[in-house]
């Protein structure tokens, strides 16, 4: 096995010059999540660029969003107990025309999705191509799914990720690499709730008492919702959008707010949604305003387990072997598809893409020098997991 790892790592080291034009093709195509044509165009290019690896390919319809792409080795079906699922996404957060760039300055490449996370997909392609050159790819039980809707919470791809992940030995997710190469083992769960308040309209001057002020009721509920935040437990509630009313001299009959919720443990997410519902019923009884709550938990948390800690240690040792950092990241507030993999009981680690910074901004960049070491670390990890 050591000889195979060495041959594959040598192949990855030789592949950088050919890999960068591949990444440029991907980055230059706008793949904002709602730009379905652009997302699917990237998907077509990905399909073509992975085709030489000889993997079994499946395109999964995105149900109104872009299509999701799945590749499997032959050994995926032959060795189910040793399966390793790799996860990426090819959508970005940038609407067409808002950020169009491919700029190299020294060791940095700046562009939309270069870091988040087309660069991460490139790391996987470099590693798999090198393993294929070394004659090892087909005997590894691997699957890669790259989804088209991660930036909006993976609403249509989540069932497919869960199906692939269930029963796997490990999940590896290639979100943006951190500046110190730290490995993400914990992410908060996320959710969103829209609260709609209904009161009764009345003229504020002539018959105020006949009205039921929806804004007043909603404001009282907002105070209770915000109070559900418990920083010590990692539970946060943020009312970030509020609207309502028609005119200052009319008792408002309707109002609504948008609420962001985050939590460290899955049980806390479920408890939080239940507590919001209880608060709404209590305020309704006090004010006469009625409430409807829509939404809830969107992504379960990525929770650290003994198995994911061991996976982190394995990957860290491989990363350090090739000159990368191997520390464990602090808790991350945002979710990713690693959360979904973890929620079905599979140990998962994240942030395995190239080092960089500025994701979700026009300053997004990767450090080119980390592409090869990341691919080499992945090669060594996959071979170790294969036993």
Is the Cα torsion angle 206, 207, 209, 214 positive or negative in sign? negative
Q: How many CB atoms lie within 10 A of CB 202?
A: 18
C-alpha of 282 from chain center:
35
Give the pLDDT confidence score for residue 153 in this predicted structure: 93
Identify the CA nearest to 371 among candidates 77, 28, 18, 37.
18
Q: Which residues of 104-127 are buried (b: 16+ CB within 10 A; e: fewer)?
A: eeeebbbbbbbbbbbbbbbbbbbb
Helix segments in the chain, DSSP class H: 2-14, 16-27, 36-50, 75-78, 119-133, 158-165, 214-226, 266-287, 306-321, 337-343, 371-386
The whole-angstrom separation of Cα 351 and Cα 349 is 7
In the numeric block, the tokens 């760039």 are attached to 101
21 C-beta neighbours (distance < 10 Å), count: 8
Strand partners, 316: none
Predicted local distance difference test score (pLDDT) of residue 2: 82
Q: Which long-range contacts (CB under 8 A, 24 or more apart) does 241-245 make?
A: 242/218, 244/197, 244/214, 244/215, 244/218, 245/214, 245/215
Question: Count H helices, E strands: the chain?
Answer: 11, 16
Q: What is the DSSP letter of 118?
A: I
For the sheet containing 365-367, what is the strand order?
A: 103-105, 108-110, 365-367, 356-357
Q: How far apart are CA 353 and CA 121, in angstroms?
A: 8
The structural domains of the chain, ordered by start, are 2-187+302-386 (3.40.630.10), 189-299 (3.30.70.360)
User: How distant, in Å, are the alpha carbons of 76, 85, 299, 348 from that of 163?
Assistant: 13, 11, 16, 15
Two tokens, residue 62: 């995105």
The pair of three-digit structure tokens given for residue 234, joined into one six-digit string: 């990692």
pLDDT of residue 273: 96
Return the ∠ at Cα 299 (arms to 298 and 302), rounded to 5°: 165
What φ, ψ does residue 40 adopt, rounded to 5°?
A: -70, -30
CA angle 90, 96, 99 (to 5 degrees): 85
Q: CA dihedral in degrees (77, 307, 264, 345; nearest 10)?
A: 30
- Which helix (H) or strand (E) element contains residue 335? none
Q: Which residues of the chain have pLDDT under 70?
A: none
Tokens of 113: 């999705």
Residues 58-102 have pLDDT tens digits of 999 999 999 999 999 999 999 999 999 999 999 999 999 999 999
């Amino acid at each position: 096995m050591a000889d195979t790892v060495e041959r594959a790592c040598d192949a990855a080291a030789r592949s950088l010059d050919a890999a960068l034009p591949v990444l440029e093709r991907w980055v230059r195509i706008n793949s904002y999540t709602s730009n379905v044509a652009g997302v699917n165009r990237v998907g077509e290019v990905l399909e073509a660029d992975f085709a030489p690896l000889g993997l079994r390919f499946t395109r999964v319809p995105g149900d109104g969003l872009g299509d999701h792409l799945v590749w499997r080795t032959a050994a995926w079906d032959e060795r189910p107990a040793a399966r390793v699922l790799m996860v990426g996404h090819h959508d970005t957060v940038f609407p067409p025309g808002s950020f169009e760039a491919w700029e190299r300055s020294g060791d940095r490449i700046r562009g939309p999705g270069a870091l988040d996370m087309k660069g991460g997909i490139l790391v996987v392609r470099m590693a798999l191509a090198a393993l294929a050159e070394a004659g090892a790819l087909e005997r590894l039980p691997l699957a890669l799914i790259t989804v088209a809707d991660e930036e909006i919470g993976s609403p249509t791809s989540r069932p497919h990720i869960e199906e692939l992940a269930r029963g796997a030995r490990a999940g590896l997710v290639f979100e943006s690499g951190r500046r110190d190469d730290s490995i993400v083992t914990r992410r908060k769960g996320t959710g969103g709730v829209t609260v709609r308040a209904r009161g009764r309209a009345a003229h504020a001057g002539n018959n105020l008492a006949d009205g039921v002020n929806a804004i007043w009721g909603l404001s009282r509920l907002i105070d209770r919702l915000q109070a559900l935040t418990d920083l010590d437990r990692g539970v946060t509630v943020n009312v970030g959008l509020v609207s309502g009313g028609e005119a200052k001299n009319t008792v408002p009959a309707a109002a609504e707010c948008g609420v962001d919720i985050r939590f460290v443990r899955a049980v806390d997410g479920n408890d939080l949604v239940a507590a919001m519902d209880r608060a709404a019923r209590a305020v309704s009884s006090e004010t006469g305003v009625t409430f409807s709550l829509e939404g809830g938990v969107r992504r379960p948390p990525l929770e650290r387990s003994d198995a994911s800690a061991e996976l982190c240690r394995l990957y860290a040792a491989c990363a350090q072997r090739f000159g990368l950092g191997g520390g464990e990241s602090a808790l991350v507030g945002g979710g990713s598809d690693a959360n979904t993999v973890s929620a079905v009981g599979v140990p998962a680690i994240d942030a395995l893409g190239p080092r960089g910074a500025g994701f979700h901004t026009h300053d997004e960049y990767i450090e080119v020098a980390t592409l090869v070491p990341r691919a080499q670390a992945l090669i060594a990890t996959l071979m170790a997991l294969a036993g």
